[in-house]
Structure 1
Amino acid sequence: MSPRTPSAPAVARHGWVQALVAVLAALIAMGVVAALGLWAAGATDLPEGAFPRVVAATVVTAVGGTVELSGDAGALAGADAGLTVIPLSVTLVGALVLAAGFLRPLRHRAVAGAPELAGWAARVAVIWLLALLGLALGARHTFTLSLGKSALSDIGDLFGVSPKVGFTTDVPLTVLFGLLWLAGVLVLALLVSRGAPLPGRLLRFQESVRPAAYAMVALLLAYVALGVVVGLVVAVTRGHRAETLAVILLGLPNLAWLALTLGLGVTWNGRVQGPFGLPMPHVLDEVLRTKEVSTLNLGTLADHDGRVWWLLVVDAVLLVAAAFVLAARSPARMRAWQHALHMAVALALTVLMICLVGRISAHFGLSVLGIGDLGGGLAGNVFLRPEVWSALGLALLWGLVTGFLGALLARPVRRRGPAEKRWEG
């Protein structure tokens, strides 16, 4: 029997214990990263033992779950709050660990039947669903908000008003988006890993899909790695070590992938208002902290700091490198225009993903007897959203150009011979 032929012991390895280990490893990794990031951000000082539940809520939002904020200040006061943001550092760590756990029993094989893969994925999904339900039910808390030394505090004491802020999870939406996130991770893992087996009917698609998927994942990880280096340098040379560590552990991909789109020429619209802000470089805060909605792109950033034009150079270099990887991993018979087309489609899908997960929206407001109105000094409003259609058009254009260049550069190193040989081993 060939070592690549599925055998009974191989199939038996995809058991419930292995599924449990894969899911627990991912959740533990996400929990540790979220806890360290929140600790660096000072969340351990939250009152009434809220920290563990905030960690659970962070993990829930990292997989697409929905956390709802609420405010209650009694009949004489009003409160309003909302938050939509994905801590992509936690998301990325969980996706990498879960993908590794899912692929581990499948290594060293060329083909696997669709029922076998579906059964293995179903076991992981069942364990994931139970864990997600536990997190969603535990990610809820309410604590009293301190008004500090102000007129609002005096009025609150006079009328016995104790403003409270709480958060809870929308369990049905959390389960729905959490399962969709899991499905995306497992499918992407199968697409990216050249050593992962596929059903026989899908083997003909691997020549065009797998190199492109691998190149895009490598591109995203390269930006995150570059962001880590920049963050560490900033922490060492400019101080603010705790804040920088919090950004790295919670939202580094949010900034790194934003930089990727800005380098392409993509425009984002946003605003920062009130005492709150985004964990971002000072130049971004300067552009967004205006009375009206601000435009965020290379041009507006360059008005404050000309060094942002380097994003254009970094994008060009890394995109050509990704296109080179795509072409080098593709069959030798493919032509340059085919690589360009594959690169364009893959980059457009990648930019679309960034536009969907990179959106930020947060607001908070409190009023007591009409003092400190919801739009006043205690209010904060932050949002950031992309111009999606122009972003996709720019991604297609960049993909075509860099894909063609990468194909030309990869000609000397591309393997010759039947394409099927490339996918063995």
Structure 2
Amino acid sequence: MIPRTDPRTESDQVGARHGWPQALVTVLAALFAMAVTATLGLWAAGATGLPDGAFPRVVAATVVTAVGGTVELSGNAGSLADTSAGLDVIPLSVTLVGALVLGAGFLRPLRHRAVASTRELAGWAGGLLALWLLVLIGVSLVARQTFSLSLGDSQLGDIGEELGASPKIGFETDMPLTLLFGVLWAAGVLVLALLVSRGAPLPPKLLRFQESVRPAAYAMVGLLLAYVALGVVIGVVVAVTRGHAAETFAVVLLGLPNLVWLAFTLGLGVTWNGQVEGPFGLPMPHVLDEVLRGPDVSSLNVRTLADQDGRVWWLVVLAAVLLLVAAFVLAARSPRQTRAWQHAMHMAVALALTVLMICLLGRITAHFGLSVLGIGDLGGDLGGELSLLPELWSALGLALLWGLVTGFLGALLARPVRRRGDMP
């Protein structure tokens, strides 16, 4: 006699695998990973020397910006002076680490399942997002500080000291926007994790979409991680062979995806417009700073970079090779009946969405200015400006073109590979 399984018992066991304790562990693990990455990166950048014990608060602000939150800068130099400051940049190394840990924690209790109900997935994701919201509130409250800036041994510094116009700059979190974008970021991570994983269950009504979406999502995530892996190898080699190890590891731990994904778009032919002026600068590679530094906005693409270093043309070769590999992976993981032109369309749409994400997350704007008694200019020697913005529509057009070509070629290369008839 075959024993019968009580469906309520099975349901209870499923719920036990991803209840509130598991959700809390997942959220805290993601926060811990992001905080450690930010701490090490800021330590390598020399931020431990900030006054008034501000280092932990700067770490908290870095985590806030990493999830799309907003940190507002403010300046105050008394009634005889004026200050202006602003910063809009996402430390994508911290973002990526948090996304990988959060996504892995979300998928872990769902392994070895073919199908899951919408209610079950929504409940599990909702618990994670609720705890993540509470964590964001706590981090946002910590991420605030005010610094006093030294003008140095200059005439302006002496005047400012005599008149009590010592400049100060501070930061604090815009709580509503941080909570909104932080939760949207976490929700996006969970959705992407479901799309990328072959073993994660989907509700029955969504199973028909996985044949076209999951292979493309997997291929794009693999492509982005391949660039990051190459960047880590290059960073280690540069640190060992050329010195400046602390500066190099600061870039790797805080903004490596910012650089390597920028290099990916440049390899596709995308143009970014930017300007570097004053004390600001792009830490590495220095060729970026050489192209962008000046009083006017400059165009950053493979042609302008090649004027400084001809090896930049290898970015085009690298992009072509890795895109072809991604297209092959997409075709090899797709159902056998999918035609070559369909692979090309899937690749084009996926690549366009990927480039759109890079363009939205990779843009940078920063400025700082100080004027005391009219001496100094908010955009002059006592200030600085840094900007890097993509030409979005041409970037998307190039992504679609590259996707169509490599998607079709990848489908032809994958024909000898035995592909699955059905996706689990």
Number of corresponding residues: 419
Residue number among 360, 363, 368 corresponding to 1:364 in the alignment: 368
Residue 325 of structure 1 corresponds to which residue in structure 2? 329
Q: Does 1:337 align with 2:341?
A: yes
Residue 209 of structure 2 corresponds to which residue in structure 1? 205
Q: Which amino acid aligns with 1:147?
A: L
Residue 187 of structure 2 corresponds to which residue in structure 1? 183
Q: Does 1:37 align with 2:41?
A: yes
**In the aligned structure 2, how far is the partner of 1:405 from the partner of 1:206?**
22
**In the aligned structure 1, how far is the partner of 2:109 from the partner of 2:292?**
48
**In the aligned structure 2, how far is the partner of 1:152 from the partner of 1:414?**
73
Residue number among 134, 152, 174 corresponding to 1:170 in the alignment: 174
Residue number among 240, 251, 255 corresponding to 2:255 in the alignment: 251
Residue number among 109, 114, 120 corresponding to 2:124 in the alignment: 120
Q: Which amino acid aligns with 1:318?
A: L
CA positional deviation for 1:11: 2.1
Residue 107 of structure 1 corresponds to which residue in structure 2? 111
Residue correspondence of structure 1 range 15-26 to structure 2 within 5 A: 15-26=19-30
Kindly provide the CA deviation profile for residues 177-206 of structure 1, in whole angstroms up to 9, marking residues without a partner as x: 001101100000000001000000000000
**In the aligned structure 1, how far is the partner of 2:418 from the partner of 2:345?**
18
**In the aligned structure 2, how far is the partner of 1:33 from the partner of 1:241?**
16
Q: Could you say what the CA RMSD is over the residues aligned between the two structures, in angstroms?
A: 1.3
Residue correspondence of structure 1 range 129-168 to structure 2 within 5 A: 129-168=133-172
CA positional deviation for 1:274: 0.5
Contact 1:72 1:163 in 2 (8 A): yes
CA positional deviation for 1:290: 1.9
Residue 381 of structure 2 corresponds to which residue in structure 1? 377
**In the aligned structure 2, how far is the partner of 1:162 from the partner of 1:299?**
45
**In the aligned structure 2, how far is the partner of 1:374 from the partner of 1:415?**
61
Residue number among 397, 401, 418 corresponding to 2:401 in the alignment: 397
Q: Does 1:269 align with 2:276?
A: no
Residue 32 of structure 2 corresponds to which residue in structure 1? 28
Structure 1: 4+ residue segments shifted above 3 A: 4-7
**In the aligned structure 2, how far is the partner of 1:415 from the partner of 1:283?**
44
Residue number among 41, 51, 61 corresponding to 1:57 in the alignment: 61
Greater shift, 9-18 or 119-128, is seen at 9-18
Report the 3-state secondary structure (helix = DSSP H, G, I; strand = E; otherwise coil) of the residue aligned with 1:243.
helix
Q: Does 1:195 align with 2:214?
A: no
Residue number among 303, 309, 313 corresponding to 1:305 in the alignment: 309
Contact 1:344 1:395 in 2 (8 A): yes
Contact 1:192 1:213 in 2 (8 A): yes
Residue 415 of structure 1 corresponds to which residue in structure 2? 419
Report the 3-state secondary structure (helix = DSSP H, G, I; strand = E; otherwise coil) of the residue aligned with 1:366.
strand
**In the aligned structure 1, how far is the partner of 2:345 from the partner of 2:12?**
41
**In the aligned structure 1, how far is the partner of 2:180 from the partner of 2:200?**
27
Report the 3-state secondary structure (helix = DSSP H, G, I; strand = E; otherwise coil) of the residue aligned with 1:71.
strand
Greater shift, 255-264 or 158-167, is seen at 158-167
Kindly provide the CA deviation profile for residues 222-281 of structure 1, in whole angstroms up to 9, marking residues without a partner as x: 000011111111111111110000000000000000000000000000000011112231
Could you tell me which runs of 5 or more consecutive residues in structure 2 were left unpaired when the two chains were aligned.
Answer: none
Could you tell me which runs of 5 or more consecutive residues in structure 1 were left unpaired when the two chains were aligned.
Answer: none
**In the aligned structure 1, how far is the partner of 2:344 from the partner of 2:15?**
39
Report the 3-state secondary structure (helix = DSSP H, G, I; strand = E; otherwise coil) of the residue aligned with 1:54.
helix
**In the aligned structure 1, how far is the partner of 2:252 from the partner of 2:103?**
22
Residue 216 of structure 1 corresponds to which residue in structure 2? 220
**In the aligned structure 2, how far is the partner of 1:103 from the partner of 1:403?**
29
Contact 1:329 1:414 in 2 (8 A): no
